[in-house]
Every structure is written in C-alpha cells, then in structure tokens.
Amino acid sequence: MRIAVVGGGPAGLYFALLMKRDWPELDVTVFERNQPDDTFGFGVVFSDQTLDTFKAADPASYGAIVDNFAYWDDIEIRFKDTVHRIPGNGFCGCSRRSLLMLVQERCRQLGVTLKFGEEVAGIETLKRDFDLVVAADGINSAIREGWRERFRPQVDLRPNKFTWMGSTRPFDAFTFFFKETDHGLFIAHCYQYEAGRSTWVLETDPETFAKAGLAEMDEAASAAFLEEVFAEELQGHRLVTNRSLWRSFPMIRCERWVSENVVLIGDAKATAHFSIGSGTKLAMEDAIALHRAFGAAKLDVAQALALFERTRREEVEKTQHAADVSLVWFEQLGRFWGFDPLRFAFGLMTRSKAITYDNLALRAPGFVAALDRLVAAELGPDARLRKDGLPLPPAFQPFRLREMQIENRMVLSPMCQYSAQEGMPTDWHLMHYGSRAIGGPGLVFTEMTCVAADARITSGCTGLYTDVQEAAWTRIVDFVHANSAAKFCLQLGHAGRKGATKLMWDGMDRPLDDGAWPIISASPLPYYPESQVPREMTRADMDRVRDEFVAAAGRGERAGFDMLELHCAHGYLLASFLSPLTNRRSDEYGGSVENRLRYPLEVFRALREAWPREKPISVRISATDWKEGGLSPEDSVAIAAAFAQEGCDLVDVSTGQTVMDSRPIYGRMFQTPYSDRIRNEARVATMCVGNITTADQVNTIVASGRADLVALGRPHLADPSFVLRAAAWYGVDVPQPVQYQPGKDQLMRNTPREREELTELKLKAKPGRHAAAQ
C-alpha cells in the first residue's frame, strides 16, 4: 500500500510513524511544503491524560517527548490585584520545534520517506497515485478547500483577535494575566515550554484592537505595544515574534471527513480553540485513532476510513464543544469584569465544564472553601452554616424572591405529564408533585397549566379555569406544604399554534386526527406542514386571553401557590409573538423586538397587578430559537430586561422548540450560557435548565454566577429523592417527613463513607504522574 501524508505537522508525522512501525512493508511518504526545521509558534501543551495516550501509542516517541518538556501542576490566575493558584492540573509544555524534530527522527528510524520544501500534486493526482491520502495540512488545508463540495466545511471566524508570541520569562505554572488599559481589556495565556522559553498568546476584543490601532502595526510595533501593556508581568523580559500576526480564530467543522481514499485529520478537519490547549492533542489523537482503525480493518482502506469517522467524531465534537464554550468566555470577558476576583477565578477554571466544583474541591480545597464563604457572605444573615460554623455548599444555600425564601437552589423543572382529565390534575399529579417535593428541592414547578380549554397543548394537559380544577390543585398544594419545605410555583401558559396535538407518547406536537379545537397564534403559521393553521390573533382575542391568564392567576392564589410563572417560551402562544420566526405581523405587535414584546408584556403587567405584591413572578423564555433568523442574543437580553423592568423577579432561561426545523447543539449544561448572559447583562436573577444532572453541576453554576436557581427535570423523574441523596453526599441536613426518617438516617450514615472511599481513589489518580519523567 502506498500512503501519502500531506502535511508534516504533528498529526501527519505521528500517523506516518505508527503505520510504518506496525506495517514496515507499507510505502509511507510525508510531504511538507516547509523545511524540516521551520516552525511557527512556540510551545505546545499536553495534559497528563494526553501523555498517557502517547505512552500507550508509541513508548519510544513518548520517552523522547517527556525528556524535552517543562512540567507544571498549577494554574495561576492574576486578575486585578489578586493571585489565585490552583494545583493538581498536570500539564507539560514542549517546544513545537523540538516536538517536530523528535517525531521526524522517529519517522526516519522507521523508514518513512520525508519530503520537505516541495508542493504536492493536486488532489486528483494524489488519490490516483496513492492508495491512501491523509490530509494533515492544517487550518488552511488545500485538500479540504479543493474538495469543499465533498467535505462541506463550515468556518466560523470568531470576533476576538489574538497573536502568538514568546518570551524568555520563566513560569512555574500555566498563568493567565488580565489587564485593563485605556484602550480596553487584554488577556495573556502564558506557559513555559522549555528552560528560558515561554509562550505568550495575547488576546483582545475587536473594539480594544481597533482603539489601540493594532491593525496598523507590524510585528515589531505590536510586540513593543504589548510589552508596555504587560510590562509588570514580563518582569524585564522582552517579547519574541515568529510570524506573530494578529488574526481571528476560525472554528472549523466538516460535515464529512472522508471522501473516496482521502481523509482529513487535525486542524484540516476540525479546530479547537487555544484556550483549552487541545489543538495539537486533537491532531495527534486523530493520528492514533486512524492508525487503530487500519488495524481493526486489516488495512482495508474503505473500511478503515469509515470506521475512523464513525468512532472518532463524537470525541472530537465533545472537545470542540468544550473549546467553543471556553472561547466564548474569553470573548465575553467584560461581562465578568465586575465579579469578585474569587468568583472570576472560579468561573475561569470551570468555563469549559470539564472542571467542576467537586473536582476543584479535590485539587484545591482551600480555594473552594473560600468560595463557599463568599457565597454565604453575599447572603448575609440568610446564609446556612454547618454546626462547625462553615457554610453549606452553594447548591444548599437559600435564595430569596420578594418575601419568599427558597431553602436550596435545586428546582423540580416544569414537565408536562399529559395525564390530566378534562384539564383536571389527578392522583398521578398528587403523587408526582408530592413525592418530588418530599425529596427535598427548594422549589417545585407545575407543568404548563393552561388558562382555558382551547389553550391546552393536548387533551391530557392540566388547566386552571374551572372550580373543580382549582379544588384539585388546592389538594396538591396543601399536600406539598404539609409534608415538605418546598415552595410551589404555578406555571401558566397557552399553547397557541402548538395546541390541539397528540399526547407526547403518541406523537409529540403532531396534530390530532380528530377532536381538534380551533387554535390561535401571533401569525397564521402551522408548526408542521400538516398541522392545523392557527388563526392570527385579533385585538379581541388578546383581551380575552389576557383576562384568562388573570383569572387563572386568581385561582392559583386561592389554591395557595407561592409563586407564579408566565410561560413565554417553546413556541407557545406568547413565545410566538417574541420570535421573528413566528411573528410576521405588520401591525404594532410585529417587527422590532420592542413591538414583538408588546403583547407578552401586556399580559405580564396584568398578572403582576393581580398577583399579590409579596409573591414573586417569573417568566420562562426561549433565549435562542436554534435557527438562523430567530431570536438573537441581544433580543434575549432585551426581552429579559423588559420583563425585569415590569416587576419580573426571575427569568427561567430555556431555549428552542420554536420551530420544527431548529438545530440545537446539545451537551452538558448546554443552555446555561444563555442564563449566564441574561443574568449578567440584563442584571436579573435567572434559573437555568437543560441536561444538568448532578448537584456538583448545580454548585458549579451557582458559585460561578451563571444562574441563581437550577432546574432539573429528568434526574427528578428517575429519582424523586435526588436532592436528599445530594444532601447526604455533602453532609447537609434537609427536612424529611417523620415516616421517612429511618431511610434518611441510613443514607446520612452510609453516604459519607462512600464519598470518602471515592475521594481516596480519585486522589490516587491525581494528575502529576509524569512530573518525575523530566
């Protein structure tokens, strides 16, 4: 087999050596347009976990790498006048040039043909002359661009500007510097990669870049300017340039990585932002995965390439997602500039979701203990303390909305049960809400409860528009209050164009085959092509629906609910006014975001006037429609701020479900960044939701200032005692009915022992295992 590897970077060279090592009979040639000792940039970064992967893949090159790296265990954050140092991270820095030289030498030892300083033939010639063509030719891949119609790349050029420089200043930790100047904010990502050499990645936002005039400066002038900005941090050392051009980071994704006998690897197929240090890691792990695929396929090219793309894509996309979240944190740095430095440092450490509260408690217990004290201090006399005077973790601290105090930050998310009879909740709902409330959440939400019979999503949806419904809800509210410490929130909504549909398990959002009732919406647009076309609301409809909301709220007050939520999300009636995808009106209720807000705000004002002043009201919104042309981030902030100005106490931040062809990007805590933005830009309390599954994540979200409350749905469906178990894990006492006290006692006895055993195992596997190899 003849193999052409286009690109002599880490990915291409590593794949070549692995293939030649295991199948010496292969003809493997690496083509590199630059000379063997040419390199751009300074150092590369690998984690302990990545080094383990290299060790398993090729011990010989691993040994050469660890003999030539600078190792550090700490991350140091210098923000304003503070320094926070977090141990236990286990990273190494290695000169990019040294890495290339080492891997080149390993290739030569194994018999790989290395051709430097020459341009390769066109893709058609390569795929004809070689059995396999591996495109490892980087971000500006000629092969990818030559076959754009096949690989279908998408490139998102991010707004921040950055440049790579070097210095002779030594470091003993990966260090972040944050500097405020007259021009704006600057960031330096710094690490040592060999004795007397360190990498400095300098980053700033486009406004600061323009104000500082950096676009008009050459390399030398840029370096001189940045030496002034970071004069204190450089400690007398100079910045060094090496094609240190200012640029914007390209987020690259390809719909396909393989076409015929050609495969993309490394930056040619996918990029990961430098802020998580995973570019070279991803590239070399691509090489390892591709090599393994050839082993599994017994050198069958077609099978190996298909296997590579099928098995590797998920891991790459997970890393890209973490990198994307990280880069957005740096892009939106101004949002966090006013944070307490401790919370700022915690937010930086947890930005990509790979590191959490519990994880940091193992690495840096003093840091996390200080954070607990900060959260408690902000609450003043409301803060909860242990018997020894230490504060409870953030997830178990109370939160106040008007005169209502919620005992912890974990919330039973509103989840439709589709089990009502003529809008009336049944014994199912008594069991559902009662058992979850006993399990310990601070706040329980009803499912979307409809304000009229024709406001229902399905025939199984609950309502609050008759006396019998009011009586049924009163029974449930009384049970929750009598048997738990949970507060109970009534969520009111109107289905709009998503009404008269089947039960979830019979075809979610699909229209009823018979028995459908007429539906209304902001505009006459069906949800699915086969869905019923809603009638565009008239002013008379608006008056009627507004009054139905007010009447339902009155019933909710008599039933004893502690709080009210207005549902303006997920494409339902009020949401259909807010989104430009569903509001095509030409009157005063359509067009600008201010006009689209007009009717939902009218309903909210009426509710706020009718609902008791001492009781809070929240609003649920979809912060993005996950579709081009939908709600923008600026729209969402403006919408939240408008509701807050009218007396909204909490914005319940969800996303999507506005149109049937939306394309959400799922992942852990995937909707939390939208809550973060609204909370810290609109300056309103928020509740986040969406694939949040652990109390550890709740601690992380609350402590970092991304949300004030955290709603969990599926975890509560699977375990009604989710909060009780979390409380046992952290050694926190939560109320339980006397009937359940023996179970609680056993849980409180056994769980600390289990946690201690698990902690010991984690500490044994703590990063730092490669340090002695220096």
In Å, what is the CA distance from 551 to each residue of 116, 545, 599, 600? 78, 10, 17, 16
465 is catalytic: no
CB atoms within 10 A of CB 669: 24
297 sits in which H/E element: none
Task: Quote the CA–CA distance of 189 and 201 in Å, as a whole number.
Answer: 5
Task: Quote the CA–CA distance of 258 and 268 in Å, as a whole number.
Answer: 12
Q: Which residues contact 367 (CB under 8 A, 6 or more apart)?
A: 84, 86, 342, 345, 346, 360
DSSP-assigned states of every residue in 500-562: SBB-HHHHBTPBPSS-----EESSS--SSTTSPPPEEPPHHHHHHHHHHHHHHHHHHHHHT-S
CB atoms within 10 A of CB 620: 26
Distance of CA 83 to the CA centre of its chain: 26
Crossing angle (nearest 10°) for helices 467-483 and 539-559? 40
Task: Quote the CA–CA distance of 298 and 319 in Å, as a whole number.
Answer: 28
**Contact status, residue 622 vs residue 690, Cβ threshold 8 Å:** no
Q: What are phi and psi of 227, to 5 degrees?
A: -65, -30
- Residue position matching structure tokens 């370096």: 223
Provide the 8-state DSSP code for 236.
T
Q: Among 121, 104, 75, which Cα is nearest to 8's?
A: 104
Task: Quote the CA–CA distance of 477 and 135 in Å, as a whole number.
Answer: 63
Tokens at residue 603, please? Answer: 């309903």
Sheet holding 43-47, edge to edge: 43-47, 91-95, 69-72
Tokens at residue 459, please? Answer: 């025939």
Classify burial at 338, counting beta carbons within 10 Å of its beta carbon; exposed 0-12, middle 13-18, buried 19 or more: exposed
Beta bridge partners of 536: 521
Task: Quote the CA–CA distance of 670 and 623 in Å, as a whole number.
Answer: 12
Q: Amino acid identity, residue 774?
A: Q
In Å, what is the CA distance from 257 to each residue of 185, 265, 376? 38, 8, 50
DSSP-assigned states of every residue in 658-683: SSTT------TTTTHHHHHHHHHHS-
Q: Among 11, 38, 30, 39, which Cα is nearest to 115's?
A: 30
Tokens at residue 444, please? Answer: 């329980």
Q: Which of 191, 418, 527, 572 is catalytic?
A: 572
Q: How far apart are the first and last CA of the chain?
A: 38
**Contact status, residue 375 vs residue 702, Cβ threshold 8 Å:** yes
Task: Quote the CA–CA distance of 675 and 623 in Å, as a whole number.
Answer: 8
- Residue position matching structure tokens 């051009």: 245
The dihedral region occupied by 111, where left means phi > 0, alpha psi between -120 and 50, and beta the remainder, is left
Q: Which residues contact 92 (CB under 8 A, 6 or more apart)?
A: 45, 46, 51, 66, 69, 70, 71, 72, 770
Task: Quote the CA–CA distance of 18 and 106 in Å, as a whole number.
Answer: 10
- Residue position matching structure tokens 């010991």: 760
Sign for the pseudo-dihedral over CA of 607, 613, 616, 621: positive
Q: Max alpha carbon distance in the chain (Å)?
A: 85
Q: Among 276, 279, 324, 286, which Cα is nearest to 174's?
A: 276
Count, residues in the chain: 774
The catalytic residue positions are 572
